[in-house]
Amino acid sequence: MTPTCPACHTRPRRPGQYLCGPDWAQLPTAARRALSARGDRGKAMARLRELHHQLAAGTPLANIQITL
């Protein structure tokens, strides 16, 4: 079963990314870069939590900020 995108809940998530293609493209460049950064796994999980918190709060994709 393909995981569903946590932003739109309709389209499948792209492999290796956190959102579907159209939603990923709406994220600010800085947020995309932070979420794509390789390295510290703990930090990557913290960034993912930031993304999910903002999605749960109804933050528009274009306004999402990843600070960690």
- Residue 6 in contact with residue 19, Cβ under 8 Å? yes
- Phi, psi (5° rounding) for residue 4? -90, 145
- Comparing CB distances to Zn ion, the nearer of 5 and 34 is 5
Is 2 or 41 the residue whose CB approaches Zn ion more closely?
2
**3-class state of residue 4 by DSSP:** strand
6-14, 30-38, 44-52, 53-61 -> range binding Zn ion (CB under 5 A): 6-14
Interacting stretch for Zn ion, rule CB under 5 A, among 10-18, 25-33, 41-49, 53-61?
10-18
Q: How many CA atoms lie within 13 A of 14 on its CB side?
A: 10
Chain residues binding Zn ion by CB under 5 A are: 5, 7-8, 11, 20, 23
